[in-house]
A and B are shown apart, each in its own frame.
Chain A
Amino acid sequence: MDAFLLGAGQVLSVETLIYMLLGSIAGIIAAAIPGFTVTMAIVLTLPLTFTMDPLQGIAVMLSVYVGGYTGGLISAALLGIPGTPSSVATTFDAFPMSRNGEPGRALSIGVWASFFGTVISTAVLIVAAPPLAIFAVKLGPWEYFSLIVFALTIVASLVGHSLQRGLIAALIGLAISTVGTDPILGRPRFDFGIEMLAAGLPFLVVLIGIFAISQLASEVEDAGKIKSGQKLVTGEIDFKTWAVMKEVLMRPVNLVRSSIVGVLIGALPGAGGSIANLVAYDQAKRASKTPEKFGTGITDGVVASEAGNSATAGGGLIPLIALGIPGSAVDAILMASLMVHGISVGPRLIMDNADLVYGMFIAMVVASFMMLVVCVLSMRAFLRVAEVPKWVVVPVVLVCCVVGSFALNNRVNDLYLLGFIGLFGYALRALDYPLAPLVLGVILGPIAETNLRRALMTDDDWSLFLTRPVSLIFLIAAVASVAWAVRAHFKSKKTQENAEGTAP
């Protein structure tokens, strides 16, 4: 109880609330700009939190996170362009609803569904994370190593179009993590006498380069589009706030099911809001008595997609808080921000820093209320943001990425690294390699290596990985995730061949 009150005291201080409000606004604005992802917004927020207390910094980042998931709705509903990858399914019904002359209602339904999705996922997080952490403390290095193998295989199999390229990307990430001194004995590795490599490649610079720079570069691929503006949909923008709230609450089954889908998918490493958004929409369509109306601008479609993606925010924090395993790139940045403040993230986090964890729970709830209030009061102002052209976004955000990378360590070498990694990331993106497994490989690599070597220092019997039940379960799950992905690949190939064979 003391820890809860301590955490609440820190989050509910006036200073933190003001920072969180700014974070909410920044998250909504950032995600509303097409081409600017939630991940990028969080990355750019990180350097600004260095001077804050750990909980204050995390609370601000969570408010950007929660705001960002809602902000993607604006361009999805008004332009038919998902502001973030997690708003793809939102365009299916929110955009037709806007074109049918109800843009305000589309936005309002999305905001309320996002709010309830976040609140439900936070409730699940509060219930699920502590017991899972208590269980996780009992795990040995064998189980941890197997868990990381499972996390990486499931990420590789869920993200992108090819399991092989997903696994290759994860292994490239692990390989990048081995550059620099080794985590047990501190021996230098792969530095080739270059000072920049001796200390290892800073995770956050790699992350900014891989995600942000490559994404920004891909935004200017179409020379024609970048120079033309796009108009917002026409029609009266009337939010009907309270009527819409009742309309959303009148769909409790859809709301709860989509939120639970979001929580479960968010808790799965690698499967973030983009998958939850689509799966929740698909489930709502399957369960509907009128599935043919989906895609024409119906309320259920908007509720499912927005509740689904927003609920991943709480779901993603479950493995981070309970196991120290980030479920997505955004969670990896949150983990890095804790590490920057000298807090070790793992199953002991909730025992050693209970105030911080309770503070994170409270911050999630506060952030969702702030998002709601900000959206309801000032949605009209945010609508202008979706009109910001890419020729403004790309150069300005590139500068923010450069500043953010430099501010991490005040090293000019990091800037050169950022350029190289950005180019490498763009090449991988162009070649259709998924980037999320690579980034998770970079952050999980040292944890995997440390646990593997610790396990064998304790007992040099390799068979313990297979004879310890929990370790075996994780390894079986890893093999099953690969087998499932291979089966799905062959199934889709067969369907494609059959379709080609029957085509005239």
Chain B
Amino acid sequence: MSAPAPDLSGKEPGEVARLLSYIALLAVSAGLFWEATNIPASRFETLGAGAFPMIVHGCLMLLLVITIVQTLRGLPAGSYAAFATAFSIWVSERRLVFVVFVCLGLYLAAMPVIGYPIATLVFLAVLQFALAPKTKGAMAVLIVLSILFSFGLNWLFAEVFNVFLPRG
């Protein structure tokens, strides 16, 4: 299914957000380019282990600089002031996305400690509860699915595929 319109609530705030992403990528790429220059060359070949990364980051930096210049030329002066407001609206509209990522982060961090079955049971129960309509039917489905995909899946992988998920 196609994703909803990804723009940050309008064309110009979206362009400012992309401009910031270009600058961030340029900084990272420049750092990695410098790091690649420190990879020792080989006497067995014309190009060393650092050459290909330098070519890739060189092209990336060139493309990013061109794109940054183009974006700066195309953006009206007032765009930057409107960005902060548009960004906060964008974040508030997508609060469930952040709930999903926070839950996922905690789940992945907890899994090695408390084990797959319990971590998954809690993750599924909490996330489904956050997303589901609060009806009795939904709650019953929530409980069944949480048990099925935590203890059930753990059993399936261990007994059928001989893959042991983290036990904690």
Interface residues of A (CB under 8 A from B): 34-37, 47-48, 50-51, 75, 81-85, 88, 164-165, 167-168, 171-172, 174-175, 178, 182, 184-185, 187, 189-190, 213, 215-223, 226-228, 389-392, 394-396, 398-400, 402-403, 406-407, 410, 412, 415-416, 418-419, 422-423, 426-427, 429-433, 445, 448-449, 452-453, 456-457, 460
Contact = CB atoms under 8 A, between A and B. Distances in A.
A412 B166 contact: yes
Contacts of A34: 1
A216 B131 CA distance: 13
A4 B163 CA distance: 34
Contacts of B116: 403
Contact of A392 (B3, B50, B145): B145
B149 A426 contact: no
A82 B1 contact: yes
A365 B112 CA distance: 43
Contacts, number: 197
A70 to B, nearest CB: 16
Contact of B111 (A83, A88, A164, A415): A415
Contacts of B50: 189
Interface in B29-62: 29, 32, 35-36, 39-40, 42, 44-53, 56-57, 59-60
Given A217-B97, A457-B45, A227 B60 contact: no
A309 B127 CA distance: 34
A82 B3 CA distance: 11
Contact of A399 (B7, B17, B36, B149): B149
Interface string B141-157: 10001000110010001
Given A218-B97, A415-B108, A396 B1 contact: no
A398 B100 contact: yes
Contacts of A399: 120, 123-124, 149-150, 153
B131 A432 contact: no
A380 B145 CA distance: 23
A175 B21 contact: no
B29 A223 contact: no
Given A174-B56, A178-B53, A453-B45, A220 B21 contact: no
Contacts of A88: 2
Chain A binding surface, main DSSP class: helix
Given A189-B49, A218-B97, 16 more contacts: A174-B56, A175-B29, A178-B52, A182-B52, A220-B99, A222-B4, A223-B96, A226-B131, A227-B131, A396-B145, A399-B120, A407-B163, A423-B101, A431-B14, A452-B47, A452-B52
Interface size class of B (residues with CB under 8 A): 35 or more
A395 B47 contact: no
A218 B127 CA distance: 15
Which residue among A36, A389, A431 has the maximum number of chain B CB atoms within 10 Å of its CB? A431
A452 B145 CA distance: 50
B1 A219 contact: yes
A215 B18 CA distance: 19
B4 to A, nearest CB: 5
B132 interface: yes
A426 B97 contact: yes
A140 to B, nearest CB: 16
Given A81-B1, A456-B45, A227 B153 contact: no
B159 interface: no
Contact of B101 (A75, A391, A396, A426): A426
A175 B32 contact: yes
A457 B108 CA distance: 44
B35 A190 contact: yes
Interface of B: 1-4, 6-8, 14, 17-18, 21-22, 25, 29, 32, 35-36, 39-40, 42, 44-53, 56-57, 59-60, 63-64, 66-67, 70, 93-97, 99-101, 104-105, 107-108, 111-112, 116, 120, 123-124, 127-128, 131-133, 138, 141, 145, 149-150, 153, 157, 161-166
Nearest to A35: B1
Contact of A221 (B4, B21, B45): B4
A432 B46 contact: no
B14 A432 contact: yes
A407 B96 contact: no
B165 A171 contact: no
A391 B63 contact: no
Contacts of B52: 178, 182, 448-449, 452-453
Contacts of B153: 399, 403
A449 B56 CA distance: 10
A431 B6 contact: yes
Contacts of B131: 220, 226-227, 390-391, 394-395
B87 to A, nearest CB: 11
